Amino acid sequence: MKHGERYGYPTVLLKDIMSSASADTEFKITYDIACVFSKYVKKRNLLDSERCSWAVPVFHGYGHIASCQVSFSPRRIPGFGLLDGEAIERLWSYLRRFAKITKEMTPGHRLNLLSQGLDHFSKKKEDRLDKWLVERVIASEGQLDLCSADNASLQQKYKVPLTDLTLNEMISEEQEQFKKTPTSASGRGWRSQYIKDLLKWYSLRYSLDVL
């Protein structure tokens, strides 16, 4: 199967979902290869990219290069909250129990049982959807409060002001670093700069700690 064809399935699926939603609906999409797939659809103008935000699921992120981990982590993109993006893996895990039972079945019986199992799985998900969303909002708000308190105490301790403006500057600076290729500028790119900044940060923190 060629790459173009492989990308065809998710493209058709997303087009179908997007066509049945209202025009102002925004889509937060997690996909194992969101980094390359988002570029693919954007380049060919296959989806309304303005309405889409892309993330690589948290566990799958470890298999990607550092710049992907930073640019496509759901923890770093607005709107994803505490979503891990691994929902489909839970479906595979649920389906494991059917492997032994369906092994000796005729294809028709296997299909029948798996269809019923999948119906049950989606019905259970649907029934819990409202409760799940409320739980997620509460967990996200709790996490936000914890982070804000941590931030405030760090700023107070080290007297380093952190406003939305400085935060946005840091984010765009980081994005710029990742746009540079590893062979650009100094010949070593953002990795070398990142290590230098990290060492500087550690030495500053150490000097503040020993004060």
Q: In whole angstroms, give the CA distance from residue 130 to residue 132.
A: 5
Q: Which tokens belong to 122?
A: 């989606």
Q: Quick check: 58 and 74 in contact, CB under 8 A?
A: yes
Q: Quick check: 29 and 85 in contact, CB under 8 A?
A: no
Closest CA to 77 of 29, 120, 25, 124: 29
Q: In whole angstroms, give the CA distance from residue 184 to residue 173.
A: 16
Q: How far is the CB of 34 from Zn ion (least distance, A)?
A: 7
Question: Of the two residues 35 and 83, which places its CB atom closer to Zn ion in the complex?
Answer: 35
DSSP, res 21: S
Q: How far is the CB of 147 from Zn ion (least distance, A)?
A: 26
Question: Of the two residues 33 and 102, which places its CB atom closer to Zn ion in the complex?
Answer: 33
Q: Which tokens belong to 87?
A: 């929902």
Question: Of the two residues 60 and 83, which places its CB atom closer to Zn ion in the complex?
Answer: 60
Question: Of the two residues 14 and 68, which places its CB atom closer to Zn ion in the complex?
Answer: 68
Q: How far is the CB of 202 from Zn ion (least distance, A)?
A: 28
Question: Of the two residues 14 and 72, which places its CB atom closer to Zn ion in the complex?
Answer: 72
Estimate the share of the chain in helix, then strand, then coil, as percent rounded to the nearest 5. Answer: 70, 5, 30
Q: How far is the CB of 13 from Zn ion (least distance, A)?
A: 20
Question: Of the two residues 67 and 102, which places its CB atom closer to Zn ion in the complex?
Answer: 67
Q: In whole angstroms, give the CA distance from residue 9 to residue 7.
A: 6
Q: How far is the CB of 70 from Zn ion (least distance, A)?
A: 10
Q: Quick check: 82 and 143 in contact, CB under 8 A?
A: yes
Q: How far is the CB of 60 from Zn ion (least distance, A)?
A: 9
- Residues in contact with Zn ion by CB under 5 A are 35, 64, 68
